[in-house]
Amino acid sequence: MTPEIISIIVLALLFLVATIRSVNMGILAFVAAFAVGVPVAGMTTEDVVAGFPGDLFLVLMGLTFLFGFAQQNGSIDLLVQWSLKAVRGRVAAAPWIFFALSAMLISVGALFAVAVVAPLAIPFARRYGMNQLMMGMMVVHGALAGAFSPISVYGAFINGYLQQEGLPTDPLALFLVPLVFNLVVASIVYLTMGGRQLRGLKIDDNAEGQGTGALSAPTSASGGPGLSGTPGSKGVSASVLTSPSAVAGTSRATPYQKLTLLGLAVLALGTAVFGFDVGVLSLSIASVLAIASPKASKEAMTKISWPTVILVAGVLTYVNVLETAGTIAYVSSGISAIGIPLVAALLLCYLAGITSAMASSVGIIGVAIALAVPFLQSGAIDPIGFVVALAIAATIVDVSPFSTNGALVLANVDEADRDKFYRHMLVYAGIVVAVGPGLAWLTVLVPGWL
């Protein structure tokens, strides 16, 4: 068998064994990277190690460490309270607030907008008994909705590459079409994962005897919000429900909380406006907080999501072996050789989507566009329509726990819920990978062809 076929078989076995035996796939992927890379792909040990995503490792470690401080000292609780006030206590509006926040941050250049928003949104969902998967996916789809603005990393990269190749560009279409696509997907997620059950629920800070964070809703004979503050259950007659982890007391920030919140603001501003490396900046801010409170540092260190870090780093190390072995190019060249441009475009969308679920979306888009340049230049297919469809196909799958955005969401889930969340996330990601690229092709590219 050729190196390409062997590497594909091993990849399939990684998923199978990790799923059946509940073993961290990152560990298995590290082993597979050396087992396939050295004897099969002709790589040296140093070559395999060079594929380790050190920058992403730094990002995941730094961000989960920094937000460990925010969770430990109550800063996240304050932001949750302030977020509720922004929507006047309407719990149903909260997922859309976080969706919009992610979209806004990434549209102005914050590539890791999910890293800033997820640590706020997931605890919010957990606090008020909302579906954490729904909230996490709202955050990711919000980031994907704003990802292709002309001044974002994705938008600037694609528009620049097309200009370099002498192909037509349409920055407005590249921005607005993915925005609408992800808005529609987010609406479906919201309506099917419990959003409708949140209607009428409000945070009642003045509920007698409940303290800050009580949930209130109108009494309904046919069943309203659930017992113990869980939205969606039936047959409750009380008009005030207590949040699962209501925060009693003032919403004023302590000096250390103010320092933490300032650090988070610096992180958002530094990455969005000044383009600082998010991993280095988050570690730098965390170091300041650690010096200010060594005790808090020890507790925050336990919040680093090492299983998630290993999972993502291991999978991406193996993806580098796939690229070196020529597996991606092998599959791509076979697709590009198809004589029907529209079918070739569909297969390229799926190739980009499936590969991007475990690798860099920007890198995969670049490879896929490069493979498609010959028939794009020939006029056999609409270049703008194809590029927009490809952009959606390669990023809609970022809900995967193996992608950066998915991993950042998973890293912020409470450890007690993480295994269950991971399984549900895999199911959702599987559906998106199976359907998303095809829908992008069907709704964006096919109408222009017809």
pLDDT at 225: 32
**For residue 409, with 0-12 CB atoms within 10 Å meaning exposed, 13-18 middle and 19 or more buried, which class applies?**
buried
DSSP 283-296: HHHHHHHHHH-HHH
DSSP bridge pairs for 187: none
Residue 145 CA to residue 126 CA, distance in Å, equals: 24
pLDDT at 203: 65
Task: Using 50 as the pLDDT threshold, list the residues of the chain that sit under it.
Answer: 207-213, 218-249
**Closest by alpha carbon to 402, among 437, 373, 367, 426?**
426
pLDDT at 83: 66
User: 170, exposed or middle or buried, with CB in 10 Å at 0-12, 13-18, 19+?
Assistant: middle
H helix or E strand, kind and range, residue 308 = helix 306-324
Token digits for 189? 């997620």
Instruction: Burial-class residue 60 by CB neighbours within 10 Å (0-12, 13-18, 19+).
Output: buried
- Contact between 169 and 384 under an 8 Å Cβ cutoff? The reply is yes
pLDDT of residue 213: 47
Q: Report the pLDDT value the prediction gives residue 153, as an integer from 0 to 100.
A: 76
Give pLDDT tens digits for 257-294: 999 989 988 988 887 778 788 889 989 999 999 999 99
pLDDT digits 0-9 by tens, 380-423: 788 899 999 999 999 999 999 888 889 889 988 888 888 899 99
Distance, in Å, from the CA atom of 71 to the CA atom of 64, rounded to the nearest integer, reads 10
Q: Check residue 229 and give its pLDDT.
A: 36
**Quick one: pLDDT at residue 239?**
30
CA 253 from centroid of its chain's CA atoms: 29
Question: Token pair 């309203």 is at which residue?
Answer: 224
The whole-angstrom distance between residue 167's C-alpha and the CA centroid of its chain comes to 30
Helix %, strand %, coil % of the chain (to 5): 70, 0, 25
